[in-house]
Amino acid sequence: MRSAQPAVPAASRSLPFAACRSAPCARSLCLCAGQSLAHVCHSANIRGRMNDVKSYIPPFQLDRPMDGGAVGEVVVSDAEGFAVGDHVLHGLGWREYAELDAQHATKVDASLAPLSAYLGVLGMPGLTAYAGLFEVASFKEGDSVFVSGAAGAVGGLVGQFAKIKGASRVIGSAGSDEKVTLLTEKYGFDAAFNYKNGPVAEQLPAAAPEGVDVYFDNVGGDHLEAAISSMNVGGRATLCGAIAHYNDTEVAPGPRNLMQVIGKRLRLQGILVSDHAGLQQQFVQDVAGWLRSGELRYDETVVEGVENAASAFLGMLRGENTGKMIVSFTG
């Protein structure tokens, strides 16, 4: 006899979530040698760690504070090289104070960009875009580039990096007419379309009549299938995300046109940003220069208060953000 399967909770439900205000005074905590205490200014998170599956990074632990990318200011330090007032990037997000070992914190320059930028354009999303385009997809001048989820933290940067480096045409997809306008008028995309206005398989070839050489996939599903059909011989695809499937309760079918990968000699490759840490110095140098020159522009969506972190997270999954979704604890 088959046992009954537990019901899958609805995607939208109330969130009885509140910040804990009972933490001790930060400056009264006793630190071990080599540790610092940082007041978290901004935090971000990733959806994949909510899945209880074996992956490149362990899932979140139940009944434990959630971690994730964060940037903050050192308020107490017993760690060599870290002084009170320094700003640090670390992985203990979703809390107002983080007790850090020195090896788990990286100093960042608050004069180069706002602190929140180190969670976006100068952080993991930026390096993902940089490595995914230049190293994984082997972008070269003159390539035609299609980016799905192009108004997100990674996608908007991919398109701009490609334009800066001489792409012949950059096309993006987004989930609203406002985001389409953002892509073409602010980020400099040559064309963009709202995937909710019609089949991607029809809108993409209309926007890229000469085909696509590089596809940067943040969505999966119908976008990946349409991209395979539009890609030119020898095209390269960086598979970065599959937001169309993150909340699926059943395994989604794959693209129906995979046979085209053979005939076109396409290369489809996944990316984990941790594999490309060696690019960090060049990445920061290039991107900081593009920010200073005004060639590169970025957006972020900021939500105030740790008590609103869960709502912000769900908003990101619904596409309510433009650029990186950031939770600020500075208020």
227 or 73: which leads in pLDDT: 227
pLDDT at 12 over 50: no
- What residue has token string 């509140």? 18
Average pLDDT over residues 315-325: 79
Phi, psi of 34 (to 5 degrees): 85, 5
Looking only at the bridges linking them, the beta strands covering 106-107 and 144-147 are: unpaired
Produce one character per residue of 46-74: b if its CB has 16 or more CB atoms within 10 Å, e if not.
eeebeeeeeeeeeebeeeeebbbbbbbbb
In angstroms, the CA 226 to CA 203 distance is 9
Q: What is the pLDDT of residue 35?
A: 58
pLDDT at 47 over 60: no
- What residue has token string 């480096």? 165
Q: What is the pLDDT of residues 79-131, one digit of tens each?
A: 888 888 899 888 877 777 888 888 888 888 888 888 888 989 999 999 999 99
pLDDT at 298 over 60: yes
pLDDT at 171 over 60: yes
Same fold for the domain at 26-119 and the one at 124-274? no
User: Where does the pLDDT of residue 3 fall: very low under 50, low under 70, confident under 90, or very high at 90 and above?
Assistant: very low
Q: What is the pLDDT of residue 178?
A: 96
User: Where does the pLDDT of residue 175 fall: very low under 50, low under 70, confident under 90, or very high at 90 and above?
Assistant: very high
Q: What is the pLDDT of residues 215-250, one digit of tens each?
A: 999 999 999 999 999 999 999 999 998 875 555 556
CATH architecture label of 26-119: Alpha-Beta Complex (3.90)
The token pair at 97 is: 């104070």
Q: What is the pLDDT of residue 37?
A: 63
Of the listed ranges 28-42, 50-64, 154-168, 195-209, the one predicted with least confidence: 28-42
- Bridge-partner residues for 68, per DSSP? 92
Of the listed ranges 97-111, 225-239, 270-284, 308-322, the one predicted with least confidence: 308-322
Q: What is the pLDDT of residue 52?
A: 54
Q: What is the pLDDT of residue 38?
A: 64
pLDDT at 53 over 60: no
- Evaluate whether the domain defined by 124-274 bears CATH number 3.40.50.1000: no
Cα–Cα nearest to 219, from 139, 158, 297: 158
- Give this prediction's pTM: 0.81
Residue boundaries of the structural domains of the chain: 26-119, 124-274
Cα–Cα nearest to 298, from 148, 131, 89, 152: 152
In angstroms, the CA 190 to CA 170 distance is 5
